[in-house]
């Protein structure tokens, strides 16, 4: 039983589909009810919707349940987790993938020339929503004394990318994973953060069609991230990993999975070094 937020397309869809391939029931959340209502890149509407992702989960072997949900709205998140608890009474995996990708992030302008509201957009959906969803999930997972909470991050928690608000938000996701792990450890609930590589999302592919300088070599498919989540969800030693960030490509080497094309993307560890670590993992316990 899993919840994947921000799963209309991209990384969220890949994660939901791969969990479905493991036979999971997956609640697929997002703001796009129908493909025609999705966001656009230079006038091109990006494909994907919660319904299409839920159908993909079911085709993969699981059971997809689409839920139109704005992760910035606490009441909608409460309704979502209330539905999960009422209908199934348990929750095994939460993946906090929801994030607002604003065109302003890639404008190249310094932070003082960008509207202050960009900070709120990035943090409301991406950091605060991660905390709220984790709070609601923990109220289901703690009594059952098992579960996994995953935050989606990247090396940009460590290396500058786009603008200040973006990097601080990604660092906050990593710190959330660490602190959640500290409080959840006695209840055997794990919390980890994933550092992704360059993902071939619909948005990236649309941009590449317009800009031949965008190199899609050594990219990861959204499903590659999903295979990392599926491997972690089935790891009997998952608590030993809790409170840390992990490169998806490093997990592929360890667990022995490849991307959907059979390739093994290179880890970015060589470029950016190890993921952030906040002190000793639960070292004061």
> How far is the CA of 157 from the CAs of 13, 105, 145, 162, 176, in angstroms?
23, 15, 30, 12, 12
Say whether 27 is catalytic.
no
Report CA-CA distances (Å) from 15 to 19, 24, 131, 156, 226: 6, 11, 20, 21, 3
Helix (H) or strand (E) holding 8: none
Give the sign of the dihedral formed by CA 193, CA 114, CA 100, CA 180.
positive
What are the CA-CA distances from residue 59 to residues 16, 24, 63, 129 (Å)? 11, 12, 8, 29
Q: Which of 166, 187, 247, 272 is catalytic?
A: 166
CB–CB of 29/71 below 8 Å?
yes
Q: Which residues are part of the catalytic machinery? A: 166
């Amino acid at each position: 039983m899993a919840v994947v937020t921000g799963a209309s397309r991209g990384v969220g869809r890949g994660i939901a589909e791969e969990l479905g391939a493991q036979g999971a029931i997956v609640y697929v959340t997002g703001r796009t009810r129908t493909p025609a209502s999705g966001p656009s890149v230079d006038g091109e509407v990006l494909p994907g919707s919660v319904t299409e992702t839920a159908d993909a989960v079911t085709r993969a072997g699981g059971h997809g349940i689409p839920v139109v949900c704005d992760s910035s709205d606490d009441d909608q998140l409460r309704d979502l987790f209330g539905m999960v608890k009422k209908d199934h009474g348990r929750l095994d995996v939460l993946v906090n993938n929801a994030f607002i990708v604003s065109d302003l992030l890639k404008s190249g302008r310094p932070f003082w020339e960008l509207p202050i509201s960009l900070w709120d957009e990035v943090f409301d959906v991406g950091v605060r929503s991660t905390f709220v969803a984790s709070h609601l999930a923990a109220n289901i997972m703690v009594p059952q004394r098992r579960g996994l909470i995953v935050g989606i991050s990247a090396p940009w928690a460590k290396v500058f990318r786009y603008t200040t608000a973006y990097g601080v938000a990604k660092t906050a996701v990593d710190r959330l994973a660490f602190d959640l792990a500290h409080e959840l450890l006695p209840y055997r609930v794990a919390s980890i953060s994933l550092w992704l590589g360059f993902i071939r999302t619909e948005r990236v592919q649309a941009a590449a069609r317009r800009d031949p300088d965008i190199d899609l070599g050594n990219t990861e498919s959204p499903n590659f991230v999903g295979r990392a989540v599926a491997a972690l969800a089935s790891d009997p030693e998952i608590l030993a990993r809790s409170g840390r960030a992990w490169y998806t490509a490093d997990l592929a080497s360890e667990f022995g999975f490849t991307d959907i094309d059979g390739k093994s993307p290179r880890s970015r560890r060589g470029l950016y070094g190890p993921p952030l670590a906040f002190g000793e993992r639960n070292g004061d316990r």
